Structure 1
Amino acid sequence: MSEPAASLKGFLIRGLPVIKEGDDIPALLRSLFDLQDGDVLCLASTIVAKAEGRVRDLSEYQPDSHAVEIARELGKDPRFVQAVFNESSDVLIERPFLLVATRFGHIGVNAGIDQSNVGDERILLLPEDPSASARRIRQALGKDFAVIITDTCGRPFRSGVAGVAVGWAGIAALRDWRGEIDIHGRPLNITQEAIVDEIAAAANLLMGEAGDATPAVVFRGLVYPHSGGSLFREKENDIIRRRLKA
């Protein structure tokens, strides 16, 4: 008899308050949901960043002449542009938008800086090191499960945004299929599946956008590798990045 098909369940955690600096996210989660070993906990980067004090006033930024020039061309606040530059390790595109590499390796528009739900004249930066944040949350909750910190960003050659992983712990970034045999008996030589991105995208479907205020999702029933791989290509191996910088 064949094994029964796997069953994946997703649970939206409701009841989280509006997160502010210093809030104990693991304690809040523990009071609302009973995590089990093997679960995958997905948290929107916004609540992690807020708890870590990553909200900034635009008045904190003094734009240099280059930020002023780019802001004028893009129709943006020069202070916002300076914030993007400050959060970036590399600038790939400056026009018609700012596409940059964050200091922890993620590439996205405006360094993932958010201006929603933080008030006028304020911005929200991504967590400084989302994978380190995921490790701390996982350790504090004391379970054998995975944590993925999610964000949304656009994708080359496609319209719309999708959920992606910017940090993770207790799960491999990639499932490596190389060496496995296809249905015709040929070994796979290239395929590496970005499983943390796939899970993040599914989580975003449940979380919603705008004012949903449901930034935490748990998946149960997934079988996943626990370590290995990185989503962020090394600069020297990233053909697209090299072409954009040419």
Structure 2
Amino acid sequence: MQLFAVPDVPEIRPGDDLAAVVRDRVDLREDDVVCVASTVVSKAEGRLFDLEDFPAGPRAREIAQTLEAATGEEKDPRFAQAVLEESVDLLMESPFLLTETRFGHVGVNAGIDRSNVPDHDLLLLPKRPSESAERIRSELPADRVVVTDTCGRPFRHGQRGVAIGWAGMHASRDWRGETDRDGRELGVTVENVVDELAAAANLLTGEGDGGTPVVVVRDFEWGDHAGSDNHYRELAGDFVRQAIRGWQYE
């Protein structure tokens, strides 16, 4: 398997054709996986806003005050309002906002970005990233597209690349029913392939001003395994999330 960044990607503006940007810069193969940072997907889809677009309501002002008390830093209630509007569930409100987005992703501040946004205050995640991935895929020679983002993880320091949308492939590779080298049957192993590809791509896209938001994964083989589109845990089996619901920051 090889990975390479698509070179010379320009600053993406609302309405830009991301698929054309990629096609013009690299010769794709049918079995390539194209990993696209959510940043440029959001820019192309016009998900750029200013803080004044989110007048703070009472709940947002309350949250901002709670965060200020916990962190000792001034917090803009308009940002809290933007997070609330992009979320369907608020798991934690102190010492940071941990939320579930409309498409199921759980992350800090609903994934709202404030970096690499030259003309606005905020960059929101795509509304429906898998639909975004499908639109891009439909206009590329490559059959598989993954929309990536970076996210922190419980019990781990730092951030890693994760998949928030995908098209043309399953999210997870199911090893259950297969055997290990000693012939023991695997009973629980389900490999989240789209997250692994996103993490690999993130090694090339980076986190700063590199300007390489698209990475091509070449010669990745799925193998003879079953697959599924299970990506986010169901609440009934997400025991960490259930525990967070009853936890309070002190």
TM-score (norm 1): 0.93
Partner of 1:163: 161
Contact 1:172 1:224 survives alignment (8 Å): no
**Residue identity matched to 1:214:** T
Q: Residue by residue, what CA displacement relative to the aligned partner does 1:191-229 show, whole Å, maximum 9, x if unpaired?
A: 000111111001000111111111000011101279622
Partner of 2:24: 31
> What is the CA-CA distance between 1:85 and the residue it aligns to?
0.5
Partner of 2:43: 50
Partner of 2:85: 86
Equivalent-residue separation in structure 2 for 1:125 and 1:144 (angstroms): 27
User: What is the aligned-residue identity percentage?
Assistant: 53
Equivalent-residue separation in structure 2 for 1:216 and 1:96 (angstroms): 33
**Residue identity matched to 1:154:** G
Contact 1:12 1:216 survives alignment (8 Å): yes
Q: How do residues 34-183 of structure 1 correspond to structure 2 at under 5 angstroms?
A: 34-74=27-67, 75-119=74-118, 122-141=121-140, 143-183=141-181
The DSSP-based 3-state class of the residue aligned with 1:90 is: strand
**Residue identity matched to 1:122:** D
Equivalent-residue separation in structure 1 for 2:99 and 2:23 (angstroms): 36
Equivalent-residue separation in structure 2 for 1:31 and 1:121 (angstroms): 28
Deviation beyond 6 Å, 4+ runs, structure 1: none
Please provide the CA RMSD for this pair.
1.4
> What is the aligned length?
238
The DSSP-based 3-state class of the residue aligned with 1:150 is: strand
- Greater Cα shift, 117-126 or 28-37: 117-126
Equivalent-residue separation in structure 2 for 1:172 and 1:76 (angstroms): 40
Point out where structure 2 has 5 or more consecutive residues left out of the alignment. Answer: 68-73
Point out where structure 1 has 5 or more consecutive residues left out of the alignment. Answer: 1-7
2:3 corresponds to 1:21:
no
The DSSP-based 3-state class of the residue aligned with 2:157 is: strand
Equivalent-residue separation in structure 1 for 2:165 and 2:115 (angstroms): 21
Partner of 2:200: 202
Distance 1:227 1:56, change over 3 A: farther
Equivalent-residue separation in structure 1 for 2:63 and 2:207 (angstroms): 29
Q: Residue by residue, what CA displacement relative to the aligned partner does 1:4-27 show, whole Å, maximum 9, x if unpaired?
A: xxxx11111011110010001111
> What is the CA-CA distance between 1:233 and the residue it aligns to?
1.3
Equivalent-residue separation in structure 2 for 1:173 and 1:121 (angstroms): 33
Equivalent-residue separation in structure 1 for 2:34 and 2:81 (angstroms): 33
